[in-house]
Amino acid sequence: MARNKVTVIGAGNVGATTAQRIAEAGLADVVLVDIVEGLPQGKALDLAEAAPVIGYDMSARGTNDYADTAGSDVIVVTSGLARQPGMSRDDLLAKNAGIVKAVVSAAAAQSPDAILIIVTNPLDAMCHVALAASGFPRERVLGMAGVLDGARFRTFIAEELGVSVEDTHAFVLGGHGDTMVPLSRYSTVAGVPITELLPAERVTALEQRTANGGAEVVALLKTGSAFYAPAASTFEMVESILLDRKRVLPCAVLLHGEVGTEGLFVGVPVVLGSGGMERIFEITLTADEQAAFDASAAAVRELVEKLPA
């Protein structure tokens, strides 16, 4: 039986680290694609040369040619620009929309049955671009954000309570940005909601740190943004799909009436298996949570309306 094949577009920090995790876990053969000549080839060769030491048999290939991506089971899209000095958010939106449209059109034509995982920011808007460019059904276009935001929340909960991260669980819904919605009453340590373990002001502080999680890393790094946790989060989604694990993970998916939202990609818990999004795991929100979710969805809509036609 042939091994699974994963294409990672964008051989930068997030893309290359995701490829490394996939190879080291022995999950699939990896094709790294970038627009820069030599970059994906060099990183793929380096990854292949780590295999004898670490002990994996997966192949890693770098290319600038989408023909090499044909027959991929999963396509991860990390290609994009970071915001440069003098570039407005709207400029970045238009530039990355152009990149995502081009790479998804090229990759989807080679792998018409693949499942797309979008990572490029602004995440929720880029999912809309990918859906249109691929022509794929909503079940096969997923955005990575909630797993990362949840991982950050879990890190802060574990640190605050002095417990293992393994025994924490966190739910973060909504758009990927400062309007995200951390759901503290569903965020637990060993099954106990953190709202029963911490005073309200500490819960709020951890929620705020989570919503600011990406910016906190950027402020420290000064150039570039987070990539270890984003790559680990992307890997978790790829693994659940390829191993048909049916993990319940928060992902950006196109909502059709779920959580009171129509026609927008917003983060909700999803059952992830070999079919991609197999089911949206609907939970009942309180009035305050629904209002926060609606505000987050409105922020996504604002961006989507600014997308170039």
Ligand X SMILES: NC(=O)c1ccc[n+]([C@@H]2O[C@H](COP(=O)([O-])OP(=O)(O)OC[C@H]3O[C@@H](n4cnc5c(N)ncnc54)[C@H](O)[C@@H]3O)[C@@H](O)[C@H]2O)c1
Residues designated as active site? 176
Shortest Cβ distance from residue 143 to ligand X (Å)?
7
Instruction: Give the 3-state secondary structure of residue 55.
Output: coil
Which residue's CB is nearer to ligand X, number 141 or number 189? 141
Q: Which residues bind ligand X (CB under 6 A)?
A: 9-15, 33-36, 39, 78-80, 82, 99, 102-103, 119-121, 123, 144-145, 148, 176, 224-227, 230
Which residue's CB is nearer to ligand X, number 78 or number 168? 78
Q: Which residue is nearest to ligand X (CB)?
A: 12
Which residue's CB is nearer to ligand X, number 181 or number 189? 181
CB neighbours of residue 103 within 10 Å: 26
Shortest Cβ distance from residue 29 to ligand X (Å)?
19
Comparing CA positions, the residue from 271, 224, 265 lying closest to residue 250 is 271
Shortest Cβ distance from residue 39 to ligand X (Å)?
6
> Amino acid identity of 59?
S
Scanning 69-199, the segments in alpha helix (DSSP H) are 89-110, 123-134, 146-161
Structure-token pair, residue 255 = 């909502």
Eight-class DSSP state of 37:
T
Structure-token pair, residue 171 = 């739910």
Q: With contact defined as beta carbons under 8 Å apart, do 165 and 154 qualify?
A: yes
Shortest Cβ distance from residue 37 to ligand X (Å)?
10
Which residue's CB is nearer to ligand X, number 34 or number 189? 34
Q: With contact defined as beta carbons under 8 Å apart, do 154 and 169 qualify?
A: yes
